[in-house]
Amino acid sequence: MDTPATTQTGHPRRWAILGVLVISLLVVVLDNTVLNVALRTIADPEHGLGATQSQLEWAINSYTLVFAGLLFTAGILADRLGRRVTLMTGLVLFGIASLISAYADSASQLIAARALMGLGAAAVMPATLSIIANVFDPRERGRAIGVWAGAVGLGVAIGPIVGGLLLEHFWWGSVFLINVPIVVAGVALVAILVPESRDPKPGRIDFLGVILSIIGLSLLTYGVIKGGEDGFGDTLAWTTLVGSVVVLTGFVLWERRVALPSLDVKLFANKQFSASTGVIGLVFFGAMGAMFFGAFYLQLVRGYGPLASGALFVPFAVAQMVFAPRSAAMVKRFGPKMVSTVGLLLVALGLAAWLFIGATTPIWIVGAAFFVMGVGMANVMPSATESIMAALPREKAGVGSAVSNTIRQLGGALGVAVLGAILSSVYRDDLGSATDGLPAAAADAAKESISGAYGVAEQAGAAAPALINGANDAFLSAMHYAAVGSVIFALLGAVVAVLWLPGKRPATAPAPSSAEGLAEEQGVELVEA
């Protein structure tokens, strides 16, 4: 028989609930990576929508813009209205938007539908993590968050494989249509298994704070996207970023003085909370930037198709699945500081491998680099996320989850934008004389990106081999510079972890002997489904 000190007091169906939450999370995370392998097909006038490069970029960015801009607000609403109802609403919106995307008749319709998908995802993501915080005993919560974080990594990695399989057998819309039956099953399971929970004392809504957060985060996300596309010297890019800083500064000042703030900004005085959010942002900056240039390397320089290149992300997924659920035990044994620091150093090591990868590097080295990155992130994400959630009372779990996910999303978007800008700049500088003799329009297209160079080469006749060789050499040089940037940010994350994350925690007092007692202690309203 368990002693009072070892009896777990979470919700009796907590592990089944976690399974439902993982399904809900996977469909959201997986879909965004699935789209990446479908872009070429969507651009095809015959087999797709004939989308332009700009339209393809906004098919991705419209989702990111709405998702990042509304994550924080969705977390607040989940705490107030109920996390289960917010999760179900988000899934329904996501499913409807997926159906519209699958049968879109134009690129403009696809962009609008993707924005609606971002709205649904913004409701789903924080609700899943905040429900975990409310149905799991604190002693099991770290393990549960490890499984949750593993699902994020799994979705990122298997998306290209799923997309490749679908595109080999079906039309481009299948990458969106597949979401619909999963969403239907998810909504049914959430309704049956997941209990409702909310903040029992929500107080008045901080309308001004909510509005400022939406405007500020949307401006910041748009500025990052625009800077990645046109360079951060572009007038619209830097003025939007400056505007976001002004609005978010106003948000912080308002939250400091209002009686019932949407976000208690004083939390950032807590070193554990601030360092954990910083670590998440920095690790996603480096990792998502590397996956961005890695996809171009595999599909263009190495010539792998969507399915084969997607398969090379499997080692990352395997590492997440194996190590993320075990991260809680590592934190318990060694403490968040040690686990996160070692994890970030492993991420930096995996990223550093890209400095030595060339056109003929054995492909197993690429797979090994992704595996090492996956092991590192599997130990960083759960421990940092658990530190954020532990710094907040349970009734504010939605806000904590929203902060964590907003930083993750912005870190990833900023990594792609900044490292993508480095990639483009060095590529253009190093392309040199490879475009000599080409018509002006063709030369400009080839200088824009390696994808443009390959497109021009298809029509370049005898000049094609020299152009391809020059583009590959310029891209590899640019990739190495971008890899240096990703390593620097991963190492910066390790410095933050060493300086400010807590060490090994002392043993804690026994938890209350029942789920109801735990909820009462935490001031949480828990309503059975």
Token pair 């912005």 is found at: 410
> How deeply is 211 buried, as exposed, middle or buried, from its count of CB atoms within 10 A (0-12, 13-18, 19+)?
middle
Structural contact between residues 287 and 377, judged by C-beta atoms closer than 8 angstroms: yes
pLDDT in tens, the chain (529 residues): 344 444 456 678 888 888 888 888 888 877 767 776 777 678 777 778 877 766 777 787 788 778 877 877 888 788 788 889 999 999 999 999 999 999 998 888 998 999 899 899 888 887 887 888 788 877 787 788 778 777 776 776 677 778 878 887 888 888 888 889 989 999 999 999 888 877 777 667 778 888 888 888 888 878 877 887 777 788 998 999 999 999 999 988 998 888 777 777 777 877 888 888 899 889 988 888 888 788 788 888 898 876 787 788 888 888 887 888 888 788 888 888 899 999 999 999 999 999 999 999 999 999 999 999 999 988 888 788 777 777 766 666 666 667 777 788 778 777 877 888 788 888 888 887 778 778 888 888 788 778 778 878 888 777 788 888 898 999 999 999 999 999 999 999 999 999 988 777 665 544 443 334 334 433 344 444 3
Measure the CA–CA gap between 85 and 187, rounded to whole angstroms.
Answer: 10
No. of helices (H) and no. of strands (E), the chain = 20, 2
Q: Dump strand ranges (E) for 192-303.
A: 196-198
